[in-house]
Each structure stands twice: as C-alpha cells, then as structure tokens.
Structure 1
Amino acid sequence: MAIKPWKTIKSEVFKKTPWTTFKENDFEMPNGKRGKYYFVSTGGSSMVIPVTNDNKIILTKQYRYLVDMESVEFPAGGVKEGQTHEDAARAELEEETGYKAGKLEYVGEFVPMNGVTDEISKVYIARNLIKGEVNREET
C-alpha cells in the first residue's frame, strides 16, 4: 500500500536564529483532516565517523546544555549557508577532533528527529587522517 503524503496548506516562519528556523505549518492529511505542525527547520547536518590507520574510531566528548551532561559523539554539525554537506563534514571533523580527512566517503543519510525537525544528516567515513589542532566553537 502506497503512503499518501500530507499536503502543506501554509508555512510560516515565527522565529529565525543564526542556526535554525522555527516554523508553523498548516497541513491536510489524506483523510481531509487539518492541523498545525510546529518544527525546527535547518540546512541539514553532517556526521563523520573518523577511522584511524589502525582502525580505531575517534569520538568527541562535549557538554550538552539541554540535557546538562557530557555526551560522547561522532563529530557532527550543521551545514551553514553556502556550504555543502561534505564541506561541513570536513570542517566539523577538524574543529572537533583536530584531524583532517585525507579521504572522505559518503555512506548514507538519516533524519535524526523526524517528528521535531526537517533536518537530514549525511554520514561520512573519514580515513587517512592528518593530525592538526582542535578548534571547537563555544556552542
């Protein structure tokens, strides 16, 4: 059975920040019922799985304000305006780990929180790593 998409009747931005846009959409379901959907809209994100020459995976540890704890993560971050997903992957890898990717391979994508955001995160494997300096953003 084919999935019938919902129809967007109206889309409004009610708050825009440097990182995200908050939207309110009026929609109609296939059965004719209408409703409102509130969500975060982004330019997407990139996640990197850095693999060393001896096949070890590099993770980062960062404090996350919303959950008030440290989080162990793959390097990842949002795609900025004018940037490609690959550009973002390379930038986040270097910013969060200090490594540059000699080789970056796209392996797939996922929607991290499909009930909360329209963000699509593209995943890359980084190999032939070159060590540099960590240069994390404050946020």
Structure 2
Amino acid sequence: MSGFSKRGERVVHEGHVVTLVDATFVDPDGESFEREVVHHPGAVSVVPVLDDGDTVVLVRQYRAAVETELLEIPAGKLDVEGEAREAAAARELEEEVGYRAGRLEKLAEFYNSAGYCDERSTVFLGLDLQPCELSAQGVEERHMTI
C-alpha cells in the first residue's frame, strides 16, 4: 500500500468528454495536498491489419486540441454506458473505417497521462477484417479520410 489517500474532490468543470476536479489528497506523513485531476471515461483503439498482413488501415482526421489533421489508428472514447472495451473497439472500427473484425486481440492497456488524468486506453489488434457499412458519427469523422 502506498500510504496516499484521497480526501475528496470538487467539480470545477463538467464537459462533454471530461470532468475537471480539484482533488485533496493526504500523503504518508499526513500532509494534505491538492491536484487538478481530469476524469475521462476511457478509450479504445484498433490496429486493423488487412489479410495481406502488410497493410494497416489508418485514418487522417482533424484534431481540435492540436489544430491539425493527424494520421491515426481508429479510436474512440467509451461513450456507451456499460459497453465492454472489446465491443467499443469493434464499434469504433466499423464507424470509422467500415470494417468488421473477425478477431480482436488485446495488445496493451495503459494510462495515457496518469500525472493528471485517469483516462485508461486499451489497444486491440483487428484481424480477419470484412468490409461493412461505414457509419461516421461526429463532425471530424465525416471529414476524415481512410
């Protein structure tokens, strides 16, 4: 056990994707300290490999936070209540690139920026891909290229 504990938190801002809180903690010596913490629902991403074994399907889409287009693997936040991470990955793959994976294998799970945010991401390998209907959901997805 680390000896650190959280005493409480106060919501500063609740947004569409994240919630910012001021949190109070106690260290092992009994001293209180505060940190700003971003609560995030978590995310999934998929490395979709075509049957040739050499081709990975990527998306280029605008990212407002960095004000430019980025080349990425298909990804998205956990935004369906109670949805398992593997199911969310399958959904994002279909929505963003129009492929259904016959197999999804978990590659990694990690905290993106644990110094201030609780976002946990899971990366899957998508294999045995079959084309399906593309169903772009957001404004960035409607304007991205595959």
TM-score (ref. length: structure 2): 0.84
Secondary structure at 2:134's aligned position in 1?
coil
Residue in structure 1 matched with residue 118 of structure 2 by the alignment? 118
Q: State how many pairs are aligned.
A: 137
TM-score (ref. length: structure 1): 0.88
Aligned counterparts of 1:59 and 1:70: Cα–Cα separation in 2: 12
Tell me the CA shift for residue 129 of structure 1.
0.5
Alpha carbons of structure 1 residues 92 and 67: separation in structure 2 relative to 1, 3 Å: same
Aligned counterparts of 1:51 and 1:5: Cα–Cα separation in 2: 44
Residue in structure 2 matched with residue 39 of structure 1 by the alignment? 37
The code of the aligned residue for 2:130 comes to: I
- 2:26 maps to 1:25: no
Aligned counterparts of 1:134 and 1:39: Cα–Cα separation in 2: 35
Alpha carbons of structure 1 residues 106 and 10: separation in structure 2 relative to 1, 3 Å: same
Aligned counterparts of 2:3 and 2:98: Cα–Cα separation in 1: 43
- 2:59 maps to 1:57: no
Aligned counterparts of 2:130 and 2:25: Cα–Cα separation in 1: 48
Superposed CA offset, 1:45-71 (max 9, x none): 111111110111111111011111111
Matches within 5 A, 1:81-120: 81-120=81-120
Residue in structure 2 matched with residue 8 of structure 1 by the alignment? 6
Aligned counterparts of 1:67 and 1:48: Cα–Cα separation in 2: 21
Q: CA RMSD in A?
A: 1.7
- Provide structure 2 residue ranges, at least 5 long, that are not aligned to the other structure: 141-146
Aligned counterparts of 1:97 and 1:79: Cα–Cα separation in 2: 18
Tell me the CA shift for residue 17 of structure 1.
2.7
Tell me the CA shift for residue 134 of structure 1.
2.9
**What is the aligned-residue identity percentage?**
34
Superposed CA offset, 1:24-56 (max 9, x none): 210122233321111211221111111110111
- Provide structure 1 residue ranges, at least 5 long, that are not aligned to the other structure: none
